[in-house]
Chains A and B, each alone.
Chain A
Amino acid sequence: MTTTLGTLELAALLAVARLADEAYGNAVRHDLSDRAARDYSVGAIYTTLQRLETKGLLTSRASEPLPVRGGRSRRLFSVTAAGARAIRDARQQAVAMWAGIESPTRARPT
C-alpha cells in the first residue's frame, strides 16, 4: 500500500529530490514557484516539508550557521528510502491514470 500524498506534498517531495544537497526551504519554494507559476509562502512550504518529515518521507539536518540568515542554519532536506518509494508509487499511479489519454482534452475512442 502506498502513502497518500497531496498535490503540494508530492511537488515538494519531487523538488527535494531534484535539488539534492541544496534542498532547503527557500530553494524548494523557488523551485515550486517557478514550475507552478505560483507564489508559495515560506510557511506553506515548511508546513509541507515538516508533514513529509513526520510521514518519514524526508529527513533533515542543519547546515553550518550562516551570517546572511542572522546566524541561523539552513535546514537541509533529503529524501528517505520511503520517500523514494512514495515518488515511484506516485509516478506509477499517475502513469496508470493517464493510460489511454492521448491529450488532456481528447480521449481515445473505445
Chain B
Amino acid sequence: MRRHRAPRLAILHRSAARRPSSRTERILQNLGAHATFADSVLGDLAEERAKVAALRGAATAQWWYIREALRAAPYLVWNAVQYGGPMGRARVAGTLLVVALVPAVVFATYRFSDGPPARLVIGTSNATADLVLNSQRPTQVSAMVLDAAGHALAPTGVRYRWASGAPVAVTREGIVTCTQPGDASIRASLGAVATTARLRCRPVRDVRGPRVLNLVVGGPSQDVPFEALDPDGRPVTSLAGAMSVGDSTIVKLEGHRIRARVAGTTWVKMEIGDGEWDTPVHSYERAPSPEGIRVGQRLAIPVRLAGGEMNRWRLPASSGLYRVTMVRNWMERSTARVALVGANCVAWFDAHSFLCAAPRGASVFVYVPLSADSAPPFSGTLAVWRDQWP
C-alpha cells in the first residue's frame, strides 16, 4: 500500500503564513491552530460576509458571520489540538475549561450567594398564616429575612412594633406579651423592607386529655384527643404547640396522630402555651386469645358481641400483675363489660380497666348485657398485659 503523506507541508505553510492581522487570528494561533488553516477559514468567512452584506444587508451578514464562526469553531479547536503540540493542547484544554467554568461560576454565584434583604416573614415560612400565641409569658417573635432569590439571611437588625388591634406589648426586639385574648397586628422592618402579620393572642393555661392511650400494633393511627383551656376554663381552638413522644420506637407521631410501632409503654406529651399534658401510651400486639399469655406480653384480642353474648378466656397463674382493659372502638357508643373470676382486682384508670393479681390463674369474661332496643353488635378490643412485677 502506497501512502501519500507530505509531513513537511505544515512546516511550509507555517513559514509562508503572514503575521496574524486580527485579534481572532491571534487568539487562534496562540491556541495552536494551524496558521494557514486559521488564515484561510477567517479569510473565507470575511469574503463571504462581504457578499452576504452586499446582497442582504449588514445585519443579516453579521448574523450569518456569527453562525458560521460558531460552526467553524469546533474545527478550529480540533485543528489546534492536532497541530498545536503539547503546549497548544494544554492551551486548548485550559481555554475549554475556562469556557465551561465561566457559566458554572456565574450560575453558582447566582444560586448560592446571598443578595440584600428583600422580604420578611414573621414567625413562620407561610406568609399567609397568622401568628398564634398561646402563652401569657413574654415570647420572642422571630422573623425570617430573605433575599430576592429566597435565601435566608441572618435576622439581625429586625425591628418590631405594635401596629393595630388588641393592646399587646411588643418590644423593638420582638418580645411579645399577650395578656388577654384578642387579635393585633405587629410590624417588622429591616431598612426599607417591612411586613405586617396578624397576631392572635389566645392564652392557654391548661391542657387536658385522656388518662391513658391504648393502641394496637398494625392498627390505624389515632387522633390524640385533648382540650386546651384558657385562664377562665373556656376551650381554645387556635393553637400552636408541640407534641412529643417518649420513645419513638414504640409509637410514631404522624402530624397530630399517633400510631403504634411495637408493643410497649411510653408517653405522649402536649405543650401548648402555658399548659402541658402528658399521659402514658400502651401499645398491644394483636392476638386471637389471651390464653397462654407470657410474662411481659401485651395482647390485643378483638371482641365482637351482640347483646346477651359473652366471651371467656383462661389466664395462666402469674406472680406479676395483670392489666386488663376494654378498649372501645372510636365510633362505639357502648362498652362491653369485663369481669375477672379468681383474681384480686382494683380499678386501674377507669371503670373498664383493672389491675389484677392472679397467682392461681383467673378467668376473664367479656359480655354485653341484653338490651331492649336492637343495638348493633359491640365491636372492641380486650387488652391484656401480663406484667412481670407484682
Within B44-90, which residues are at the interface with A (CB < 8 Å)?
A: 44-48, 50, 68, 71-76, 78-79
**Contact among B10, B13, B41, B50 for A42, CB-based, below 8 A:** B41
Residues of B within 8 A of A41 (CB): 68, 71-72, 75
Are B73 and A69 in contact, with the CB atoms below 8 A? no
Are B2 and A46 in contact, with the CB atoms below 8 A? no
Are B79 and A47 in contact, with the CB atoms below 8 A? yes
Per-residue CB proximity of A1-38 to B under 8 Å, as 1/0?
10100000000000000000000111001000000000
A75 to B2, CA, bound (A): 27
Are B43 and A69 in contact, with the CB atoms below 8 A? yes
The interface stretch among B32-40, B96-104, B134-142 is: B32-40
A70-B22 CB under 8 A given contacts A1-B2, A47-B79, A50-B34: yes
Q: How many residue-residue contacts, CB under 8 A, span A and B?
A: 99
Residue total for B at the interface (Cβ-Cβ under 8 A): 37
**Contact among B4, B50, B71, B74 for A57, CB-based, below 8 A:** B4
A46-B45 CB under 8 A given contacts A41-B68, A53-B9: no
A46 to B47, CA, bound (A): 15
**Contact among A25, A47, A53, A82 for B44, CB-based, below 8 A:** A25
A107 within 8 A of B: no
Per-residue CB proximity of B16-29 to A under 8 Å, as 1/0?
10100110000000
**Contact among A56, A60, A73 for B5, CB-based, below 8 A:** A56
B1 within 8 A of A: yes
Residues of B within 8 A of A55 (CB): 3-6
Residues of B within 8 A of A86 (CB): 4
- In the complex, 12 of the A-B residue pairs with CB atoms within 8 angstroms, ordered by the A residue number, are A26-B47, A26-B48, A42-B72, A46-B75, A50-B34, A50-B37, A54-B6, A56-B6, A66-B43, A70-B42, A70-B43, A75-B39
Chain B residues within CB distance 8 Å of chain A: 1-7, 9-10, 13, 16, 18, 21-22, 34, 36-37, 39-48, 50, 68, 71-76, 78-79
Known: A29-B44, A46-B40, A46-B75. 14 other contacts (CB 8 A): A1-B2, A3-B2, A26-B47, A26-B48, A41-B72, A41-B75, A42-B48, A42-B71, A43-B76, A46-B44, A69-B47, A70-B43, A72-B40, A75-B43
